Structure 1
């Protein structure tokens, strides 16, 4: 006798991403833009330079590549940026499509930055929403 087929177990990274997102209240492009315009948040683009050159950039975002993010945003770090003034800063982390940024924002929670979140859909969603961008070799993101 066989029972019902078991649901496939998500991969390790899928589980990790789901756990990270459970800890965040992710926001969409228009909500992020409103927080930025009101001076309530800072947008951090964590994409590598080559990806920013190809896709374009957020107008007005801080650029901090993923490999140094925690050191730059931790207000207790000797390597912090001037904007990292305390644990209550509202950081909105963005990548290309909103995957790496979820993991990064959860990591910011781990170092004591509970207001950190990420941008749903990343740069691709921001551009599709018609929000300000600059540059890029391939505005359609097809290369």
Structure 2
């Protein structure tokens, strides 16, 4: 099956339209508790690697439903003003997710430069996956 647009083109388009939060700026917002970090990785990734402390786990497959107030799956955390910093492992899924949320009309949303891999590599705080995180 031939595809007309691959993931690289999708990522390139997303990156032109979204804000990428530099790691140092994200760290500062984290330390000041001035941002809501949203972990969109699969639960198995969280269990294996942990997550940013106090981050909200919103699986990529449910994100649009959790953000939309008209959805039966809506989560109150998304009613806050933000800023919201999305992250995944390598900043691919979070780039596409950030673009989707912007297209839904969500403001004050960006994604973390380099993803969780970058956060871990910088030796920043990591917590074990919590059973309930919102």
Indicate the residue corresponding to 1:41 in structure 2.
Answer: 35
TM-score, length basis structure 1: 0.78
Superposition misfits of 4+ residues, deviation over 6 angstroms? none
| More helix by percentage | 2
Shift of 1:57: 1.6
Structure 1 CA distance for aligned equivalents of residues 18 and 49 of structure 2: 26
Shift of 1:76: 4.4
User: What residue ranges of structure 1 are gaps of 5+ in the alignment?
Assistant: 1-10, 137-143
Structure 2 CA distance for aligned equivalents of residues 91 and 63 of structure 1: 12
Matches within 5 A, 1:1-143: 12-85=6-79, 88-135=81-128
Q: Which moved more, 1:65-74 or 1:27-36?
A: 27-36
User: What residue ranges of structure 2 are gaps of 5+ in the alignment?
Assistant: 130-134
Matched positions, count: 125
Higher-Rg structure is 1
Shift of 1:18: 0.6
TM-score, length basis structure 2: 0.83
Please, what is the CA RMSD of the aligned residues?
1.9
Structure 1 CA distance for aligned equivalents of residues 35 and 107 of structure 2: 13
Structure 2 CA distance for aligned equivalents of residues 91 and 75 of structure 1: 16
